[in-house]
Amino acid sequence: MAFAQSADPQTYLDIVQFLHYEASLLDNGQFREWVNVITEDVLYRVPLRVTREREHGAGFVPSMYHYEEDRDSLEMRVLRLETEAAWAEDPPSRTRHLVSNIRVETIDEMHVRVFSNILLFRSRGESAAYDFLSGERIDILRKEGDGWKIKEREVRLDMSSIPMHNLAILL
Amino acid sequence: MTLSEALPSTGGRDDLLREARAWLAGGELPGAIYHDEAIFQLEKKRIFEHAWVYLGHETEIPHRGDYMLRNIADNSFIVVRDEKDVIRAHFNMCRHRGMQICRSEIGNSGHFRCPYHGWTYRNDGTLVGIPAGKEAYGDLLNKDAWGLISIPRLEIYRGMIFGSLDPQIESLEDWLGDMRWYIDLFTMRSQEGLESIGAPQRWMVDADWKLGADNFVGDAYHTLMTHRSMVELGLAPKDPQFAMYGEHVHIPGKGHGLGMIGAPPNIPLPPYWGYPEEMVASLKATYPSEAHVRIAERLNFVHGTVFPNLSILNVMIGRDHKHPPTPMLTFRLWQPIGPGKMEVLSWFMVEKDAPEWFKEVSRQTYIRTFGTSGVFEQDDAEIWRGITRSARGVLARKNRLNFQMGMENLKIDTNWPGPGIAYPLDYAEANQRNFYDRWLTMLGY
């Protein structure tokens, strides 16, 4: 994909700030606040990936996902975490969303396309073991009111078999 | 027996399994079975070398040349539909120096060429090309003798492809036995049958493979606690009695079993899992017997395991907290990777001739509730890895876990119209005891 229309420096800085803010919400367990940075018509997907020869591209599988979410289902996931019985994340994982390689393209006055790399560190319980997930996020952000919100997110993971016991964390 | 009466285990594999056999009769087993190197090695040898193991669905490879890589324990197979439309499974190891001849998980190819020295095989396994055959081998290499090694046995039941490493194993039909009757409940709802959508989700769980099999074979009991978050959100039954309105069925001696739950009295859950009208009409026309139709009519939640490591879940469930429930069907494989470690392969299955809107909603329901990120299954995985972690301790070798539910208080349901041993409610662990009975028998104890 050719790099189209680079956003102006101020927009770029705003978007970098936004992504770092969003990561802090996820890593601090502020999921209710996180719902405020997604749009009503959000589309959040993590496609399945298989190993294929180079000529067949990146190996993303049509019609199957690890996550295929809209606003209602993301809210359900947050409501679940607000119960006292969400065992998969209570006690919570320690996570760190390391967001880098941010590129921002202007789509129109209201929308930007944002590419970023993500390295997610996760550890649980007293064990010294930890897991990593690595991937590229392709987001479409929309200007709403004073700030930006996530209208679309696709997370392209750098693995076929997921090296952790569940995806009880958002990417 | 009380703790002090425990048999004095030396902690060795043989003692542990002999004690497990003795204890199972009383509905008890040592927790160490979920995390023990020697038991794991024995499982690979005595179970996974002699079982029928699920490899995948024929709709994953619908066209000639389509293939997929699948495993039985440490053995990788290329499961391929050859040019004559025959489904085969080739051991993924070149006959020359043993390189994997196929390294992509899925694809379509008429031939497989080894990247090491270039030996080339047709997708039916025949060796057809050797580089420099004349110069290097003087044209004397007998290509007919050096084709790919076929899986010793491969059989298909209702589109489900199973393989076995044991050339002497009984037929797949005999292995499944009366479980076939129940598999038909899921696979014979329409003329076209099931299809697998996309590919299976795959993920690693630091938990023993038997915990997944145990959970699906008979455990409706865990729903209220493990999945309490979903009960609170209205996605799981609120009535703590819900599993009383079910049936607990196992196939004796074979290890298979399932639980089938319907609506409690006065709770208006839709018949036939809530499948859309046209699909209900279709199942009525297609099911192999009247008894299938009669049983299916009152079903909403069904879980089961085909011994050793294939599980099936067919339930109606909400795709979020706002929408009404939709039925969905998943097959899943608990692949043994190491002691206390498995890889899960989880497929979403749906009737090929179902309406497109239904396929879409049913798929979303599956993704959000089960599988890698599912709001139900993520809690199961947390529980199973916790058990596996505790199972390493020496006290998990000396003491026992309880599998006694229903042992004293349940009578066999003689009115059940299906085969197998049935109990008239799904709060029981007869299926689990039957699973571990087969497990111990195959291990040689």
B67 interface with A at CB cutoff 8 Å: no
Measured CA distances, B209 to A127, B24, B51, B336 (Å): 21, 19, 15, 6
Q: Which two tokens stand for residue B79?
A: 């499961």
- A72:B375 CB<8 A: no
Beta-strand ranges (E) seen in chain A are: 38-49, 60-69, 94-106, 111-123, 131-144, 147-157
pLDDT tops 90 at residue B9: no
* pLDDT at res. B266: 83
CA distance B124 to chain A (A): 21
User: B-chain residues within 8 Å CB-CB of A132?
Assistant: none
B74 falls within a domain: yes
For chain A, domain boundaries: 9-157
Do residues B87 and B156 lie in contact, with contact meaning Cβ atoms separated by under 8 Å? yes
Q: What is the pLDDT of residues B264-321, one digit of tens each?
A: 888 889 999 999 999 999 999 999 999 999 999 999 999 999 999 999 999 999 999 9
* pLDDT at res. B10: 59
pLDDT tops 60 at residue B425: yes
Dihedral angle at the C-alpha atoms of B94, B96, B97, B98, nearest 10 degrees? 20
* pLDDT at res. A3: 61
CA distance A158 to A46: 11
- B385:A86 CB<8 A: no
Measured CA distances, B168 to A6, B56, B89, B154 (Å): 66, 22, 17, 12
- A56:B104 CB<8 A: yes
B362 interface with A at CB cutoff 8 Å: no
B27 falls within a domain: no
pLDDT tops 50 at residue B117: yes
B180 falls within a domain: yes
Burial grade of A4 (CB within 10 A; 0-12, 13-18, 19 or more): exposed
Which of A69, A165, A168 is facing B205, going by the closest CB pair? A165
Do B226 and B83 belong to one domain?
A: no
What residues pair up with B76 in beta bridges, in sequence order?
A: B71
pLDDT tops 80 at residue A25: yes
Do B96 and B209 belong to one domain?
A: no
- B54 in helix, strand or coil? strand
* pLDDT at res. B1: 41
- Answer whether CATH 3.10.450.50 is correct for domain A9-157: yes
- A165:B206 CB<8 A: yes
- B105:A51 CB<8 A: yes
A53 interface with B at CB cutoff 8 Å: yes
B13 falls within a domain: no
Give mean pLDDT, residues B413-417.
97
B104, B137, B164 — which closes off a domain? B164
* pLDDT at res. B267: 85
- B233:A61 CB<8 A: no
**Chain A nearest-CA residue for B69:** A51
Within the 339-358 window of chain B, which residues sit less than 8 Å (CB to CB) from chain A?
Answer: 343, 348
CATH number of domain containing B297: 3.90.380.10
* pLDDT at res. A65: 98
Do B275 and B385 belong to one domain?
A: yes
Do B395 and B428 belong to one domain?
A: yes
CA distance A21 to B8: 58
A91 interface with B at CB cutoff 8 Å: no
pLDDT tops 80 at residue B5: no
Q: Which two tokens stand for residue B408?
A: 């004293």
A4 interface with B at CB cutoff 8 Å: no
Question: Structurally, how many domains does chain B consist of?
Answer: 2
Mutation for testing the B interface, residue in A80, A132, A133 having most B CBs under 10 Å: A80
Pairing of the two strands B160-164 and B153-157: antiparallel
Q: What is the pLDDT of residues B16-54, one digit of tens each?
A: 999 999 999 999 999 999 999 999 999 999 999 999 999
What does chain A come to in residues?
Answer: 171
Do B212 and B359 belong to one domain?
A: yes
Confidence of residue B240 (pLDDT cuts 50, 70, 90): confident
What is the strand order of the sheet A131-144 is part of?
Answer: A60-69, A38-49, A147-157, A131-144, A111-123, A94-106
User: What number of other Cβ atoms are within 10 A of residue A125's Cβ?
Assistant: 13
Do B124 and B200 belong to one domain?
A: no
Do B176 and B159 belong to one domain?
A: no
pLDDT tops 80 at residue B8: no
* pLDDT at res. B406: 95
User: B-chain residues within 8 Å CB-CB of A122?
Assistant: none
B229 falls within a domain: yes
A67 interface with B at CB cutoff 8 Å: yes
Do B60 and B149 belong to one domain?
A: yes
* pLDDT at res. B3: 44
B30 falls within a domain: no
Q: What is the pLDDT of residues B172-196, one digit of tens each?
A: 999 999 999 999 999 999 999 999 9
Confidence of residue A117 (pLDDT cuts 50, 70, 90): very high
> For residue B220, which phi and psi values (nearest 5 degrees)?
-85, -20
A51 interface with B at CB cutoff 8 Å: yes
Do B199 and B147 belong to one domain?
A: no
A162 interface with B at CB cutoff 8 Å: yes
**Chain B nearest-CA residue for A164:** B204
Within the 179-238 window of chain B, which residues sit less than 8 Å (CB to CB) from chain A?
Answer: 197-199, 201-207, 225-226, 228-230, 232-233, 235
B337 falls within a domain: yes
Do residues B223 and B246 lie in contact, with contact meaning Cβ atoms separated by under 8 Å? no
**Chain B nearest-CA residue for A87:** B379
Query: For all residues of chain B together, what is the average pLDDT?
Result: 96
Q: What is the pLDDT of residues A27-60, one digit of tens each?
A: 999 999 999 999 999 999 999 999 999 999 999 9
Residues spanned by the domain of B278: 172-443
User: A-chain residues within 8 Å CB-CB of B363?
Assistant: 63-64, 68
Q: Which residues contact A114 (CB under 8 A, 6 or more apart)?
A: A15, A19, A102, A103, A104, A105, A137, A138, A139, A140, A141
pLDDT tops 90 at residue A6: no
* pLDDT at res. B69: 98
- B372:A166 CB<8 A: yes
Do residues B316 and B273 lie in contact, with contact meaning Cβ atoms separated by under 8 Å? yes
CA distance B94 to B99: 5
Which of A61, A83, A166 is facing B382, going by the closest CB pair? A166
User: A-chain residues within 8 Å CB-CB of B225?
Assistant: 85
Confidence of residue B202 (pLDDT cuts 50, 70, 90): very high
Do B125 and B272 belong to one domain?
A: no
B14 interface with A at CB cutoff 8 Å: no
CA distance B7 to A132: 43
B186 falls within a domain: yes
pLDDT tops 80 at residue B11: no
Confidence of residue B238 (pLDDT cuts 50, 70, 90): confident
pLDDT tops 50 at residue B4: no
Q: What is the pLDDT of residues A120-147, one digit of tens each?
A: 999 999 999 999 999 999 999 999 998 9
| Helical residues (DSSP H) of B219-301, grouped into ranges | 223-226, 228-232, 277-286, 290-297
CA distance B167 to chain A (A): 30
* pLDDT at res. B17: 96
